[in-house]
């Protein structure tokens, strides 16, 4: 087995699960035989370049990601996000927005009331404080 085989199969299986597709569905979208796809996912088959490209296209990621050549965690996350459906992407955006708002609340303290108006007041106070610090430094 080559070094990339297992990685292609493992990544394919993981991304297929994120899409909530059966093996048969991914095989249909990639134009492959379901048994061939199963062998690739198990690391028993050596996928040709065209097969890797077809699987990557069907999953909405780059062939480099399937081969394990994507260099950073951020690239992997972007690839996984790109592979999500529109409803799942919207859920991810809402969740990230929530996390960012919570982080801002913790950074600014909870001196103002909760909610959007309170958060806005805290952000404005924080910005004024940053400007004042900058003016003192000059």
Q: Which of 38, 34, 74, 26 is nearest to 65 (CA)?
A: 74
pLDDT in tens, 81-90: 878 888 988 8
Average pLDDT, rounded, for the chain: 78
Phi, psi (deg, nearest 5) at residue 44: -95, -15
Cα dihedral sign for 86, 88, 51, 28?
A: negative
71 and 53 within one domain: yes
Q: Are residues 68 and 100 in the same domain?
A: no
pLDDT digits (tens, 9 = 90+) for 29-70: 999 999 999 999 998 988 888 899 899 989 988 887 788 776
Dihedral of alpha carbons 68, 70, 72, 74, sign? negative
Q: Same structural domain for residues 71 and 97?
A: no
Check residue 108 and give its pLDDT: 56
Helix (H) or strand (E) holding 19: helix 3-19
Same domain, 17 and 55: yes
In this structure, of 1-10, 11-20, 87-96, the range with the lowest mean pLDDT score is 1-10
Query: Structure pTM?
Result: 0.51
Q: Are residues 57 and 102 in the same domain?
A: no
What range defines the domain where residue 65 resides? 3-84
- Is the same domain home to 15 and 63? yes
pLDDT band at 133; cut points 50, 70, 90? low
pLDDT greater than 80 at residue 78? no
pLDDT over 90 at 94, yes or no: no
Query: d(Cα 12, Cα 8) in Å, to the nearest integer?
Result: 6
Looking at residue 92, its pLDDT comes to 85
Question: Which pLDDT score, from 0 to 100, does residue 104 have?
Answer: 61
- Asked if residue 103 and residue 60 are part of one domain, the reply reads no
> In this structure, are 56 and 96 located in the same domain?
no
What CATH number is attached to the domain comprising 20? 1.10.260.40
In the block, which residue shows the tokens 């958060």? Answer: 119
Do residues 7 and 58 both lie within one domain?
yes
**Structural domain count of the chain:** 2
């Amino acid at each position: 087995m080559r070094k990339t085989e297992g990685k292609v199969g493992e990544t394919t299986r993981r991304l297929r699960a994120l899409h909530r597709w059966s093996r048969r569905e991914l095989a249909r979208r990639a134009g492959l035989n379901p048994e061939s796809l199963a062998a690739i996912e198990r690391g028993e088959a050596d996928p040709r370049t065209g097969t890797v490209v077809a699987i990557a296209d069907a999953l909405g990621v780059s062939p480099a990601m399937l081969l394990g050549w994507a260099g950073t965690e951020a690239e992997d996350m972007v690839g996984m996000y790109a592979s999500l459906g529109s409803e799942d992407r919207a859920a991810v955006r809402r969740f990230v927005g929530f996390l960012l708002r919570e982080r801002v609340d913790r950074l600014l303290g909870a001196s103002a009331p909760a909610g959007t108006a309170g958060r806005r007041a805290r952000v404005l106070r924080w910005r004024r404080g940053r400007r004042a610090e900058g003016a003192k430094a000059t």
